[in-house]
Structure formats: structure tokens, C-alpha cells
Amino acid sequence: AQTVTQSQPEMSVQEAETVTLSCTYDTSESDYYLFWYKQPPSRQMILVIRQEAYKQQNATENRFSVNFQKAAKSFSLKISDSQLGDAAMYFCAYSPGVMKGAQKLVFGQGTRLTINP
């Protein structure tokens, strides 16, 4: 079974600095997706960034980028120029690539990110 591990329960960073959140996963599949979701106090799960396993190029979305190391099964999230609005719980998640039957998301334990002004 696939598993996702986030080893940092909490992280903090100064506003405008850069922070990296870690995620490792385990799967025997070669075709899959990895996601980072943000959950602010509002409870809404917000997609931050998505990576397709067959793409070697790391995904980027404005201030957010990933370091995808497929062989090491590592998928870290880098937030540049941290802003107060980035404070939230961040979840790493995995899903299979091909939709066959019910394909669920598998979540990591989450990392709580605090931004210090």
C-alpha cells in the first residue's frame, strides 16, 4: 500500500524568508501524482501544487516550487518570500495516475507552518 510521510510536525519561518517542507512516499507504481494541499484555519483544502511522476521537470506555481526526486521518493515543497497568508497546515498527498475504479488520495500527517512577522 502507498504511504506518505511528513517528518516535520511544525515549521516556522520569518516573513520574506524561504522555507522547505519535506515529504517522502512509498509506492511500487511508476505512474502517479503528488500534491501539496494547504489548509488554513477556514478548513478549506486548497491545492498548492501538483507533480506528475513521469515529468522530470519540477513543478512551480509563483512562489511555490517542488523538488521531486523520483528515485529517492522525495517530494519537498519550497515556499519563497514567505507571506503571513502562507500560515496553514500543509499536507503532502499521493494518487495513482490512471483512474481505475475508486482512486483515493493518500495523505501525509501534515506540517503546521507558522510565519513570524
Partner 1 sequence: SAVISQKPSRDICQRGTSLTIQCQVDSQVTMMFWYRQQPGQSLTLIATANQGSEATYESGFVIDKFPISRPNLTFSTLTVSNMSPEDSSIYLCSVAHSLRQRSSGYTFGSGTRLTVV
Applying CB under 8 A, does 14 fall inside the site for partner 1?
no
Nearer to partner 1, 63 or 104 (CB): 104
For residues 39 and 57, is the Cβ–Cβ distance under 8 A? no
Q: Determine, following the binding rule CB under 8 A, whether residue 11 of this chain makes contact with partner 1.
A: no
Whole-number Å distance between alpha carbons of 40 and 17: 20
71 vs 99 by CB, closer to partner 1: 99
Contact flag: residue 42 with partner 1 (CB under 8 A) = yes
Nearer to partner 1, 16 or 47 (CB): 47
Q: Which of 25, 66, 86, 96 binds partner 1 (CB under 8 A)?
A: 96
For residue 71, the 8-state DSSP code is T
Q: List, in order, residues 6 or more apart from 66 with CB less than 8 Å away.
A: 34, 36, 49, 51, 58, 59, 60, 75, 76, 77, 78
Stretch in the footprint of partner 1 (CB under 8 A) among 12-20, 40-48, 60-68, 70-78: 40-48
**Residue the block writes with cell 524561504:** 18
Mapping DSSP onto H, E and C, the string for 79-91 reads ECCCCHHHCEEEE
* Binding segment toward partner 1, per CB under 8 A, in 12-20, 60-68, 69-77, 102-110: 102-110
Only one residue has cell 520569518, namely 14
Chain residues that interact with partner 1, rule: CB under 8 A: 33, 35, 42-45, 47, 50, 91, 95-100, 102-105, 107-110
